[in-house]
Chains A and B, each alone.
Chain A
């Protein structure tokens, strides 16, 4: 099956098995290995990407479902070598440890801020409820997102 879709603003036309999952297309076909797989069943959130403005588990999305859609992965956050405020804030707040959940966390947070630039702490916590982290205890991740929401919220779009 041939599909056309955008990833990080770039147009891709690829030939794939329609049963292929989005995560496999990203990692195997497009070499975008920043998106990580932690469970393969939508429970851990490590593979979160933004699909048409919504955070989704890319392990639960099939190739056919991304036809003509727009995908943003962690590789698409920095623009022209300048980090997204969320990326800077994660670094600055010590929100990164082993880093395996980080891409998914960032994408869930990004999707939230794109829709809601000034979320409450509860909205932040709920937005990352599907992203498991085993290293940080979430406190610093929440602080990092909150900081962007407070300081740069309007740039979060």
Chain B
């Protein structure tokens, strides 16, 4: 599979690194317009209740305040902020801008629009609200039994399940022997903690058009939601994607834009809506808390026979993506293990907790954390080495996913685990004693699977236009969105490789709904795998046009021409050559030809993305503090496009996953109020707590991505928490499974 690439597989900085290190890059929150107004939200201080009275008069009278909106003077149109396409299914329209009944601590009560942000903030303080507080459902396990109804439809949002093999089968081997293990794993509600909080700017112009500059993941989805919400035609709403200061799914939904657009329209002005950290933690979205019960049966020699999975997902106060989340990658054990009988049942429920939604991995981290913590418990019960146990059950290349009936592709998880175990010296380190004193050392690992696009689950395609300028440079027009993960640079590298020119010579545009061809946006590990192929195909067509012009000009057959570094050469006579610049000029001046192509590419497959992570931890038995002291991440990536960016994606995912395992959780009190609404008490891993992460990328190709590439950004976070939890359990001899493993939980477990 190894090819000699000119550009693919090397290390490149992110495309806009220069703007980022000089401070010159303009994020949405840095934008300024003459007369721009600022909006500030009043959030609900209670988790559940009815607004009995709201008095906004004092705020309205404050000099500099332009307008105040609440349920009294805003549309009662209900909408789904998650809905990507018109008439899309599984998107309950259960939300209005300002509800009369508030459903979580942080729900939107009112907004003040003022000449500057300080005045808007002052205005908020002058609003007087009287609530009738209702009992709140603050734990997912109470949602279904509770008499408290959060929405009229009841607290069950959706139920989804599937069976593989015989769901009623008890799971025995040929001799009727079985080993059964049951466990419950809880994974917490977490904050995306993007360093840039949510922000957008909406501008109304004289023609009735609204332009929105938004730090988002999919501009067309934002346009669709906003236009439908305001009853405007799709060409009267323009969404321009701005540089995104981190997203991880947190900016996938149109959270702020419908309100900002409404405010711009009502005030006929430009309005900035920028959240502070507290508002961002309380009032945007979270990774959902999930409780997963697993009952796994295997033979005494460690062959998996059956798995019963029962999961409950806390959607929070509004459904957003909760219907799709439990049927997306959650519960898909067969992507990772060969297992003849599976019974998966999942429910998503309303609670009076902060709203959950997309977060990096979309169900895979929640689910495979549960699976991998349990797999370690089974191996322990069987007295088998956990690597050996996994190896005899993992999926093989080109196995079929029995649920989706789609091939897992050149699934490389066995190779990941074998190579990782060797590199980490697993067999040498695992049996070693964890010590007897205050500090205990443990090692753990976990395997992970994820998908590589939306193929099989809905429409999956991308359209791009590539044109050559007269000077031999290129512009790729696409609605792909770089979220700070290097997507734009990846597309440049792919196009550069195909065209035979330095990627620097290719400008990649990002989403602007007025001028971009359609694309769904950046999520679902689809960008490299699907949009990357679209780039490759459109670049190959442009390359063909370049060769046509060269052949016509040099009067030699096309098949004897080759391209290298922006030069077309005749292979039989090196003196005959043309630069891209010459071709750009000749095509226009002599042949009156525009070198340009548009391509729509439809996804054709959805192979698994795989990884195996290994962690060493040091646990302080006195304080319960855990430090991750060594880390190895191995991934089946197909083909690396941008090496240092792939490593960075993995290392960043490890930072996020360690927090998921050890310290990150949005915590509520009994009344449903968030008690850690700042970065002071919501802990994310900082530099001194972060181990060195060795990254091993296996380039095995064999699937349909560009040059064989698969995705990395999401799958990299999937195994982290389980690897760390398994290492802690190894160090202490415990079976901890309720994340995060805070010092308190660890100390309690030791006692």
Segment touching A, from B224-232, B434-442, B503-511, B648-656: B648-656
A93-B644, A94-B13 known; A40-B276 Cβ under 8 A: yes
Would you call B22 and A97 a contact (CB within 8 A)?
no
Residues of A within 8 A of B243 (CB): 98-99
A94-B647, A99-B484 known; A132-B684 Cβ under 8 A: yes
Residues of B within 8 A of A134 (CB): 192-195, 246, 248, 652, 655-656, 684
Indicate if A138 sits at the interface (CB-CB under 8 A).
yes
How many Å from the CB of A128 to the closest CB on chain B? 5
Indicate if B576 sits at the interface (CB-CB under 8 A).
no
Most buried by B among A35, A74, A133, A134: A134
In Å, the complex CA distance between A133 and B652 comes to 8
Indicate if A44 sits at the interface (CB-CB under 8 A).
yes
- Among residues of B, the one whose C-beta sits closest to the C-beta of A31 is B32
Interface string of A1-22 (1 = CB under 8 A from B): 0000000000000000000000
Taking a contact as CB atoms closer than 8 A, the residue among A31, A32, A75, A102 that contacts B20 in the complex is A102
Indicate if A131 sits at the interface (CB-CB under 8 A).
yes
Would you call A90 and B244 a contact (CB within 8 A)?
no
A78-B22, A100-B194 known; A136-B651 Cβ under 8 A: yes
In Å, the complex CA distance between A73 and B692 comes to 29
- Among residues of A, the one whose C-beta sits closest to the C-beta of B14 is A96
In Å, the complex CA distance between A100 and B692 comes to 22
Indicate if B556 sits at the interface (CB-CB under 8 A).
no
Indicate if A60 sits at the interface (CB-CB under 8 A).
no
Would you call A91 and B246 a contact (CB within 8 A)?
no
Residues of A within 8 A of B24 (CB): 34, 75
Would you call B245 and A98 a contact (CB within 8 A)?
yes
Number of B residues whose C-beta is below 8 Å from A? 57
Would you call A38 and B277 a contact (CB within 8 A)?
yes
Residues of B within 8 A of A100 (CB): 27, 194-196, 245-246, 484
Indicate if B34 sits at the interface (CB-CB under 8 A).
no
Would you call A40 and B277 a contact (CB within 8 A)?
yes
Residues of B within 8 A of A131 (CB): 686-687
- Among residues of B, the one whose C-beta sits closest to the C-beta of A139 is B651
**Closest 5 A/B residue pairs (Cβ):** A34-B23, A98-B484, A99-B20, A137-B651, A100-B245
**B interface list, Cβ under 8 A from A:** 11, 13-14, 16-27, 29-30, 32, 192-197, 243-248, 276-277, 483-486, 644-645, 647-648, 650-656, 678-680, 684, 686-688, 690, 692-693
Known: A99-B21, A135-B246, A136-B648. 4 other contacts (CB 8 A): A74-B23, A75-B23, A99-B14, A136-B652
**A interface list, Cβ under 8 A from B:** 27, 31-41, 43-44, 46, 73-75, 77-78, 83, 87, 90-94, 96-103, 106, 125-126, 128-142
A-B contacts, 24 of them at CB < 8 A, read: A27-B30, A31-B32, A33-B23, A35-B23, A36-B196, A39-B276, A44-B679, A75-B22, A75-B24, A87-B21, A91-B18, A94-B14, A94-B645, A96-B13, A98-B484, A100-B195, A100-B484, A106-B21, A132-B195, A137-B648, A137-B651, A137-B655, A139-B690, A139-B693
